[in-house]
Structure 1
Amino acid sequence: MTAHTLLSTRQWSRLASVTTGSALASVLLAAAVAVPVAQADFPQRDVRMIVPWPAGGGADAISRKISNLAEQALPTSVYVENIGGAVTATGLMQLAKARPDGHTIGVLTYDSVVTLPRGNMVPGYSLDKLEPFARVTQEADAIVVSKQSGYGSYEELIEAARANPGTVRIGVAPEGSGPYLAVRRLEAATGVSFNVISYPGSSTAEAEALLSGEIDGAISSLGDFSGILSSGDALGVVELSGSQNPAYPEVPPISEFGIELETGSFIVLAAPANTPEDVIDTLESAYQDAYESDEFQQWVTSIGVTPGWLGSEEVDEWIASYQQRTFAAMDELNL
């Protein structure tokens, strides 16, 4: 948008008749001041939501649902674009390079906050280039077994792994991910050894491996496996948490077995760094309205995901604390 479009015909006529340098400077200054005022109107077009995972996973479904509700508080639409690759870095690098005007936002998950920063895996990637403005979920990891595995409980799974080390096949995301750290921490806590098989991408690949019999169990959130859990093709045997998940009362927390192990996933929403504060406020407000709606609360609970809101003033501190705790656990296991 140029200054010409922001000035009236009368103003431009006055500008054309000005002959002194000082008067011309004053008019040009007025034109320059007018630009950010007009550009402060947000949004001016549809908002692009980058989900850095392939379509079909839990993060994708939640991001689409809450965005569909958030756009009801905006004059334009919010559309989701899946850009997977490089453990979320491909999509988030595009987010970081987008114009910081609020028209491009994205999703941060465990890998965005822990895996990439921990290993310095992608040159140029940094959370400093992003501006988190909300956390919408915080859910525990869980162990889910396939129906054909023959395991009906957490105790049976651990007993089999103890009796025959390296034979029980557990699917997780690649090394450095939350589920990978979870399975290694579980091995250390129980003294067993699993045959750990990693699957890049979303939990959809692990669900398919469970259905085909390629693996006996997998670690991710119960929400990620809601489809095969509801169909009866898989069974949740334990949640890596210290408290009971009310959405899945039949799945015990691991604290019931005397083990302190809490790991999980989350969804944080972010914009490019240097996005204006009033734009961040508008986005945060729209997504908070969506989060607090009965429709979202009922839906997210129905798929076994725990809602957990933090606003822009809290989410940065939470991320820093989460990183510190997780990096300490990794140091203990030399990961």
Structure 2
Amino acid sequence: MQRRTFAAASLLLAGTLLTACTDASGSGNGSEDYPSDQITMIVPFPAGSAPDSTARTLASVMETELGQRIVIENKEGGSGTIGLSELAAAEPDGYTISWFASPGVTMQWQRIDTPFEGPEAITPVAQAISVGTVMFAASDSGLTTIEDIVAAAEAAPGEISVALPGEGSGMDLAVRELEAVAEIEFDRIYVGAGEQIQPVVNGTYDLGAAQAPPVVQYVERGDLSWIGVFGDAVPAGIDAPLVADSEYEIDPTAVAGYEGIVAPAGTPEEIVDALAAAVETAVASEEFSEYISSTHGIAQFTGPDELAQKIDDGTATATELIERYGL
């Protein structure tokens, strides 16, 4: 009897120990040994796009820091919200993360039909870059400063045309905010993403607004001139003033875009911290710095708490702008 009881107790103890060991390390996905497997990074934009290139460059450096491969999966559509909705449905274990651009997280989910439910569905990890919107004009237009274009719009209300990618885009909001602050009116023309440069070069429209990289070559060969940069930082290699430094003060949360990494809601803090540390190191790396310089970007790291506040502020501002402009 005693022997059978001891044997049973021994079996029970062995089972308990086995269960404990399995819980601790059997899945390989515990936060205490994170990461122990490859990580999937969703990029909610097309392969070869600017956000995709930035995400891939950052991920390649993060792989060294984390000691695991990061596999990129492009899930485009819905102004960046389709990929974010897939992220939100993933397990919050750190093995599925996503690149993001701020409009998709703060604004677009509020104004388009998308399964993404907004900031409550994600955990902010880190910002990696800021995205500056630049305004430009044909080099022979005589328009070279913010003051020039405001004066032109005052002299001809609603007649100075501005080529923009789409209604509700960051560029559109920047121009609308300038109109409001300067008490002017432009003729806003929505030409589609990536199509706002050539019509300004050939004189079809007076002004354009875009992210800096695709405009640089036209400025360098003398076709276009910089007017100013919306946001809180000037992109690398861009010789243009901040609009914020002029007399027209525009809320940076309305016009300053940013990109980085988020995880599903409920991701453990220690995993978020590990990912954020890898992003911080990657942003400061020589490889990423060279990429940013070559693409005329703005490297800017912010951690989880600051990014969460930034997203909250941006979402509140987006709600206000949607109501104000009927977007």
TM-score (norm 2): 0.80
| 2:240 paired with 1:251 | yes
Structure 1 residue aligned with 2:44 = 52
Matches within 5 A, 1:98-113: 98-113=90-105
- C-alpha contact (below 8 Å) 2:128/2:259 kept by paired residues: yes
| Distance in 1 (alpha carbons) for counterparts of 2:19 and 2:268 | 18
Counterpart AA for 1:220: A
Counterpart AA for 1:75: G
Is the alpha carbon distance of 1:331 and 1:64 closer, same or farther for their aligned partners in structure 2, counting shifts above 3 Å? same
Q: 1:34 aligns with which of 8, 18, 21?
A: 21
| Distance in 1 (alpha carbons) for counterparts of 2:217 and 2:19 | 55
Query: What is the DSSP-based 3-state SS (H/G/I as helix, E as strand, rest coil) of the residue aligned with 1:204?
Result: coil
Deviates more, 1:267-276 or 1:211-220: 211-220
Query: What is the DSSP-based 3-state SS (H/G/I as helix, E as strand, rest coil) of the residue aligned with 1:282?
Result: helix
Structure 2 residue aligned with 1:6 = none
Structure 2 residue aligned with 1:141 = 133
- C-alpha contact (below 8 Å) 1:57/1:204 kept by paired residues: no
Structure 1 residue aligned with 2:227 = 237
Counterpart AA for 1:87: S
| Distance in 2 (alpha carbons) for counterparts of 1:98 and 1:189 | 42
Q: What is the CA distance between 1:68 and its match in structure 2?
A: 1.7
- C-alpha contact (below 8 Å) 1:221/1:264 kept by paired residues: no
| Distance in 2 (alpha carbons) for counterparts of 1:207 and 1:79 | 33
| 2:162 paired with 1:170 | yes
Deviates more, 1:94-103 or 1:119-128: 119-128
Structure 1 residue aligned with 2:210 = 220
- C-alpha contact (below 8 Å) 1:138/1:308 kept by paired residues: yes
Matches within 5 A, 1:55-66: 55-66=47-58
Is the alpha carbon distance of 1:246 and 1:182 closer, same or farther for their aligned partners in structure 2, counting shifts above 3 Å? closer
- C-alpha contact (below 8 Å) 1:291/1:297 kept by paired residues: yes
Q: 1:119 aligns with which of 111, 117, 122?
A: 111
Is the alpha carbon distance of 1:71 and 1:152 closer, same or farther for their aligned partners in structure 2, counting shifts above 3 Å? same
| Distance in 2 (alpha carbons) for counterparts of 1:217 and 1:24 | 79
Q: What is the CA distance between 1:318 and its match in structure 2?
A: 2.4
- C-alpha contact (below 8 Å) 1:147/1:235 kept by paired residues: yes
Q: 1:93 aligns with which of 63, 85, 97?
A: 85
Q: Deviations over 1:152-192 (max 9, x none)?
A: 44444444444444443323343333222211111222333
| Distance in 2 (alpha carbons) for counterparts of 1:246 and 1:136 | 14
Counterpart AA for 2:211: S
Q: What is the CA distance between 1:121 and its match in structure 2?
A: 3.8
Counterpart AA for 2:285: S
Structure 1 residue aligned with 2:295 = 303
Deviates more, 1:37-46 or 1:61-70: 37-46
Structure 1 residue aligned with 2:69 = 77
Moved over 6 A (4+): none
Structure 1, gaps ≥5 residues long? 1-17
RMSD: 3.3
- C-alpha contact (below 8 Å) 1:181/1:330 kept by paired residues: no
Deviates more, 1:259-268 or 1:322-331: 322-331
- C-alpha contact (below 8 Å) 2:133/2:171 kept by paired residues: yes
Q: What is the CA distance between 1:239 and its match in structure 2?
A: 1.3
Counterpart AA for 1:60: D
- C-alpha contact (below 8 Å) 1:50/1:104 kept by paired residues: yes
The count of aligned residue pairs is 314
- C-alpha contact (below 8 Å) 1:239/1:253 kept by paired residues: yes
Deviates more, 1:76-85 or 1:296-305: 296-305
Q: What is the CA distance between 1:266 and its match in structure 2?
A: 0.2
| 2:281 paired with 1:315 | no
Deviates more, 1:258-267 or 1:70-79: 70-79
| Distance in 1 (alpha carbons) for counterparts of 2:280 and 2:78 | 30
| Distance in 2 (alpha carbons) for counterparts of 1:29 and 1:207 | 67
Q: What is the CA distance between 1:306 and its match in structure 2?
A: 2.5
Deviates more, 1:249-258 or 1:322-331: 322-331
| Distance in 2 (alpha carbons) for counterparts of 1:81 and 1:87 | 16
- C-alpha contact (below 8 Å) 1:46/1:77 kept by paired residues: yes
Query: What is the DSSP-based 3-state SS (H/G/I as helix, E as strand, rest coil) of the residue aligned with 1:283?
Result: helix
| 2:280 paired with 1:288 | yes
Q: Deviations over 1:23-73 (max 9, x none)?
A: 655444433332342222433443222221224443223222211221121
Counterpart AA for 2:171: P
Is the alpha carbon distance of 1:210 and 1:291 closer, same or farther for their aligned partners in structure 2, counting shifts above 3 Å? same
Query: What is the DSSP-based 3-state SS (H/G/I as helix, E as strand, rest coil) of the residue aligned with 1:53?
Result: coil
